[in-house]
Amino acid sequence: MNRFLAALATLSLLLLVWTPAVLAADPGPADTGRVLISTGGDVTLPAGEQVDLVLVVGGTASIDGDVNTVVAIDGAVVVTGAQVETIVAVRSPITLAAGSIVLGEVRTLDSTVTRAPDAVVRGAVRDLSLDVAGLGLFIGGAMFLIYVGFAIATITAGLLLAGLASRQVRDAEQVISREPLKAFGAGILGIVATIALIAALLISVIGIPLGIGLLIGLWPLTAFIGYLVAGIWIGEWLLLRLTPATTRRRPYVAAVLGLVVLHLVSVIPLVGAIASLFGYGAVLVLAWRTIRREPEARAEVRTSIGMPAPLAS
């Protein structure tokens, strides 16, 4: 797994920082469309043969022929009198024997380069540490912006929920406060039952559209509402202790405060998931109770306006 991640990271780095250099480099061996890849083993390219790419993870790339690009991760590169356009080595020593020619650059990360006096490197031998650091800053910045954007979108959704369904939100909060075990159990049961239902639907041709709709539509929406309810509940719990004498008609402040707190504590493993499970379960319990009470509510309305309630069977 570590080797796979290292290979993936190195290939990403190549796409970002190495491709422009290759396009600007002198013409190398002709493109052949051939690629040699080895993980946990050695690769040998005989003299007289040409390939576009040699990628070795955990092995030695012995190059006697002509290659456009050689990439080694946790291995080694040995070029013997051959012509190579570019070499990229991550924790892999490079040996350039007599008569070897590198048309472009040799890029290394925690690697050494040993070359014979008549070995030629027309480009430079560059350390990839700065490129890796720049890539890390770029990815870190992008992830931070995504995190902030998701947080803002979530808080906005929480405010909408607090404004449009404040009574239902507070009913769900009461389930969390008064029946936490029931809310938690309903959340677990809801996940298990939903997965089983989706699996049953997807094995049937008729049920596939419904299963897909449930998988990518209703289930994520319900889970997201449960996350919002959990955040608003946290906000109301905090406000009750900070300003116990203040009564708020709609939980707008609680939505902002609670969801910000929930986002912050969610960096701790499982905390966000557990909170969401309580909210998800509370939404399911409230939905179930609403469905069960609906016939009784209709009967009460009919009686209050002078219409006879239906006789019990």
Per-residue pLDDT of the chain (313 residues), as tens digits, is 455 545 555 555 554 444 444 444 444 455 667 888 888 888 888 888 888 889 999 999 999 988 989 999 999 999 988 889 998 988 899 999 888 989 988 888 888 888 888 888 888 888 877 777 777 788 888 888 888 888 899 999 999 998 898 899 999 999 999 999 999 999 999 999 999 999 988 888 888 888 898 888 888 898 899 999 999 999 999 998 888 878 788 899 999 999 999 988 888 888 888 988 999 999 999 989 888 875 444 444 344 334 344 443 3
The pLDDT score that the predictor gives to residue 207 is: 86
Lookup: tokens for 95: 């040996």
Q: Could you give the residue ranges of the DSSP H alpha helices within the chain?
A: 2-13, 19-24, 129-164, 166-178, 180-202, 208-213, 219-242, 252-265, 271-304
The pLDDT score that the predictor gives to residue 19 is: 46
CA distance 31 to 26: 14
CA distance 7 to 280: 39
Contact indicator for 92, 71 with CB cutoff of 8 Å: no
Lookup: tokens for 255: 């939505």
Strands 76-79 and 94-96: parallel
- Our CA dihedral for 191, 194, 196, 197, rounded to 10 degrees, sits at 170
φ/ψ region of 33 (left if φ > 0, alpha if ψ in -120 to 50, else beta) reads: left
CA distance 212 to 48: 54
CB atoms within 10 A of CB 85: 23
CA distance 35 to 54: 6
Q: Based on the number of CB atoms within 10 Å of its own CB, is 255 exposed (0-12), middle (13-18) or buried (19 or more)?
A: buried
CA distance 128 to 14: 10
The pLDDT score that the predictor gives to residue 147 is: 84
The pLDDT score that the predictor gives to residue 300 is: 45
Residue 217 DSSP SS3: helix
CA distance 162 to 266: 21
Helices 219-242 + 129-164 axis angle, to 10? 80
Contact indicator for 150, 157 with CB cutoff of 8 Å: no
